[in-house]
């Protein structure tokens, strides 16, 4: 792909940016001396809780496998047996994997792509020919019609070969085309899908802005409804940045704020935007960066850009739902790509440790090197098991997999960083130089914990708080009914009491079929039960004991205000959230590994390495879980906060 500015109506790259387009009226920069004071901490907490409710919990409650863990339940039917693709789907995926692997080996040079900071147009056209750019699109529009599980197997191969190419494909297909496939009208699909799946046109997903990254609800780009000669439309003003494929895409899914017809707060809506629309400008087509240098990461501006109302994607005001759904799919391919890199690292580490000699012995003879190789092997096995399970949830038509895909993204990206680090360390000085791929792999891996939701945000808001939300709502309702004198109090209290009794009397059943796995199943069940207790205690005490709340003996609004403050404090306790998140990550990944071990033992094709690697991962995850929960009671959190506050004060002065 040329780095010159594309034509087809795009403004030149060197066009001067407009003066701060797209701010929402009432944003901090718009507030003058005569406007209302900044919101209080209490008001901010209330707003954050309301935004989280809208963002994560629209529609009726849904209960997936991970959500059940928060209540000390093990939904065995959601994890056992380990998923297998139907024969026809597996055969189609096998063929696609073989074709893509052959194409990559013959035509994709990852070192050159990194060096020249460009994916050649010939590679993009080739990816289109072998079907990569439309793997899950229906056959009727030129796609290959693969399941999410099959697509993840393809992305595993691409990720292991070239990170830039995998991110390019992910941006185009996993979050670009996917929005159109899931939410597009028949007219929109027939108009754009054929060219997109063949690679004749490229897609991008434009959410991130100067003020909205992981805080997706803070989008400032505006879309005002207007009437034109051609019919109803929207006028978009704003900027987007860090958009993969943004400056080279032909169709972009753009998030912008639309006014509430009822006069309430504006809502985010998704729009299909093409670069030939007047007012569309590419501010920067390729921003130089640390890794994945072959991808075109761009910055865009919309100045009074008129978008036909027929280009609205999904319902008006439901853009965040579009974004979250699409990102769920993208996070499974994140896991697949990380698995591919991990497998490459395992082979490279073993190969070097077996041939490199120091002190008269191979590196693989030393225990500290064995420790690194065992870590890589165990976590690669777990990463693949968790990816397959999350993808299978999507294929099964499950309604709730948000926590599972979020966990997969966090787990795979954090573990891969450690794996690449250890692989380079095993190679020593040889691995540090750029005639080997490991320094490039490290640069490429760094973006993974940042992109598609920073891991810290996912751990806090998505995994911990979203997981505790349903149980927290039950406690909140009982507290509110008690303080208001409602007759519902005893019914709610009975529900909580039954759950307490269940946790006291029962230990969940983990239904492995192989007797040799029973000790691991019992260890897992014991920890699921312990986690249920820990979550209840955290909800009740993390914001301070409920009995210490001001207004606890009052009624009505005073009680609701007190409870809101309590939950707001829990939202601020992010080190507690991190421990809760890490604990449930350990439980979910261990469950996937145990299910896979059980399946492969029954099938008779479990290798000695995979068996011991899987068992080692179970032991390691159990220990990590124990450390996380022990840390809820014994930690240095106040001292950590104190030192950080002092440092912040000193260097801000």
CB neighbours of 470 closer than 8 A, spacing ≥ 6?
Answer: 61, 63, 67, 70, 71
Look up residue 175 and give its two tokens. Answer: 């979050």
Active site residue 140: no
Kindly report the length of the chain.
Answer: 653
Give me the helix-helix angle, 557-572 and 41-56, nearest 10°.
80
CB neighbours of 263 closer than 8 A, spacing ≥ 6?
Answer: none
Helical segments of 356-465, H only: 367-395, 402-432, 438-446, 455-457
Look up residue 472 and give its two tokens. Answer: 């927290």
Strand partners, 305: 236
State how far the Cα of 243 lies from the Cα of 567, in Å rounded to an integer: 35
CB neighbours of 547 closer than 8 A, spacing ≥ 6?
Answer: none
Catalytic residue among 85, 404, 439, 452: 452
Q: Indicate the SS3 state at residue 648.
A: helix
- CA dihedral 193→195→148→255, nearest 10 degrees, is -60
CB neighbours of 361 closer than 8 A, spacing ≥ 6?
Answer: none
Look up residue 540 and give its two tokens. Answer: 């009740």
State how far the Cα of 556 lies from the Cα of 259, in Å rounded to an integer: 32
Residue 159 · residue 338 · CB < 8 Å: yes
Strand partners, 298: 243
State how far the Cα of 569 lies from the Cα of 539, in Å rounded to an integer: 10
The answer to whether the Cα torsion of 377, 382, 384, 385 is positive or negative is positive
Look up residue 417 and give its two tokens. Answer: 């960083």
- Angle (CA) 163-169-171 rounded to 5° is 100
Q: Which residues are catalytic?
A: 452
């Amino acid at each position: 792909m040329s780095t010159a500015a594309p034509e087809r109506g795009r403004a030149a790259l060197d066009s001067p940016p407009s003066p701060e387009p797209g701010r929402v009226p009432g944003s901090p920069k718009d507030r003058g001396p005569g406007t209302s004071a900044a919101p209080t901490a209490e008001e901010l907490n209330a707003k954050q809780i309301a935004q989280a409710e809208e963002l994560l919990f629209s529609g009726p409650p849904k209960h997936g496998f991970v959500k059940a863990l928060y209540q000390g339940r093990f939904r065995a039917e959601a994890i056992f047996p380990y998923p297998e693709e139907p024969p026809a789907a597996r055969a189609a995926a096998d063929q696609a994997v073989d074709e893509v692997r052959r194409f990559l080996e013959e035509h994709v040079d990852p070192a050159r792509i990194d060096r020249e900071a460009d994916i050649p147009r010939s590679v993009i056209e080739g990816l289109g020919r072998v079907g990569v750019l439309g793997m899950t699109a229906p056959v009727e529009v030129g796609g290959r019609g693969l399941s999410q599980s099959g697509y993840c197997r393809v992305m595993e191969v691409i990720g292991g070969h070239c990170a830039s190419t995998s991110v390019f494909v992910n941006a185009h297909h996993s979050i670009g085309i996917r929005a159109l496939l899931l939410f597009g009208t028949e007219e929109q699909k027939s108009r754009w899908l054929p060219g997109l799946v063949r690679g004749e046109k490229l897609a991008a997903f434009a959410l991130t802005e100067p003020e909205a990254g992981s805080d997706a609800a803070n989008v400032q780009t505006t879309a005002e409804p207007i009437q034109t000669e051609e019919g109803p439309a929207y006028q978009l003003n704003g900027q987007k940045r860090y958009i993969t494929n943004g400056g080279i895409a032909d169709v972009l899914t753009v998030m912008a704020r639309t006014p509430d017809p009822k006069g309430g707060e504006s809502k985010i809506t998704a729009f299909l935007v093409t670069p030939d629309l007047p007012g569309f400008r590419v501010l920067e087509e390729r921003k130089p960066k640390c890794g994945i240098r072959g991808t075109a990461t761009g910055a865009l501006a919309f100045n009074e850009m008129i978008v036909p109302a027929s280009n609205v994607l999904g319902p008006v005001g439901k853009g965040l739902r579009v974004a979250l759904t699409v990102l769920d799919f993208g996070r499974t391919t994140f896991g697949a790509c990380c698995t591919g890199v991990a497998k490459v690292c395992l082979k490279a580490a073993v190969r070097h440790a077996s041939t490199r000699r120091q002190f008269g012995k191979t590196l693989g003879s030393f225990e500290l090197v064995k420790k690194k190789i065992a870590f890589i092997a165990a976590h690669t096995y777990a990463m693949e098991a968790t990816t397959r399970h999350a993808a299978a949830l999507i294929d099964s038509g499950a309604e709730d997999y948000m926590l599972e895909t979020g966990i997969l993204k966090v787990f795979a990206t954090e573990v891969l960083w450690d794996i690449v680090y250890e692989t380079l360390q095993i190679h020593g000085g040889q691995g540090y130089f750029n005639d080997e791929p490991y320094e490039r792999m490290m640069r490429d891996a760094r973006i993974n914990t940042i992109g598609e939701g920073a891991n810290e945000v996912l751990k806090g808001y998505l995994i911990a708080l979203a997981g505790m939300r349903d149980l927290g709502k039950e406690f909140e309702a009982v507290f509110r009914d008690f303080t208001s004198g409602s007759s519902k109090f005893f019914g709610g209290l009975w529900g909580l009491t039954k759950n307490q009794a269940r946790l006291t009397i029962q230990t969940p059943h983990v239904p492995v079929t192989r007797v040799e796995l029973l000790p691991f199943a019992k260890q897992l069940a014991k920890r699921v039960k312990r986690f249920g207790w820990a979550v209840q205690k955290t909800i009740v005490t993390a914001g301070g004991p409920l009995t210490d709340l001001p207004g606890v003996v009052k009624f009505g609004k005073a009680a609701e205000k007190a409870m809101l403050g309590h939950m707001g404090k829990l939202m601020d306790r992010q080190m507690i959230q991190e421990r809760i998140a890490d604990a449930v990550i350990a439980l979910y990944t261990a469950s996937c590994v145990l299910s896979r071990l059980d399946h492969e033992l029954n099938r008779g094709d479990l290798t000695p390495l995979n068996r011991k690697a899987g068992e080692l991962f179970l032991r390691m995850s159990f220990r990590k879980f124990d450390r996380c929960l022990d840390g809820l009671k014994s930690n240095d959190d106040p001292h950590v906060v104190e030192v950080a506050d002092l440092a912040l004060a000193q260097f801000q002065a």
